Amino acid sequence: MPARETTNPDGVDFGWVMQVTFVATIVVGAPVVAVLSTTTELASWTERALFAVRVGAPIWFCTSIAAYLYARREA
């Protein structure tokens, strides 16, 4: 039977950070974008898409930084 190779990397698990960022951004970001969109007139699909990007990008960025800092602190 061939030997199994295992690793135990030290530091931040970036796969976990990406997964948590993805899920948390959807769970937190989608309702925030939806609520904020009620205060803005969005007449076309282009305006709606650009609004979602303008509001969603900072939410994604903050979520990713928070997930990374949490992972770094726990590592």
Q: Is residue 68 part of a domain?
A: yes
* CA torsion, ordered 10, 66, 22, 36, to nearest 10 deg: 180
Note whether residue 25 is domain-resident: yes
Residue 29 in domain? yes
Split at pLDDT 50, 70, 90, the class of 17 is: very high
Domain annotation covers residue 4: no
Q: By the 8 A CB rule, do 67 and 21 touch? A: yes
| Whole-number percent of the chain with pLDDT over 70 | 95
Domain region containing 64? 14-74
Q: What is the total count of domains within the chain?
A: 1
Domain-embedded: residue 8: no
Residues 6+ apart with CB under 8 A from 21: 60, 63, 64, 67
| Global confidence as pTM | 0.77
State the pLDDT at residue 10. 73
Does the residue 7 lie in any domain? no
**Residue 65 covered by a domain:** yes
In a domain, 54, yes or no: yes
- Give yes or no for residue 4 having a pLDDT over 90: no
Please give the Cα distance from 70 to 48 (Å, whole number): 32
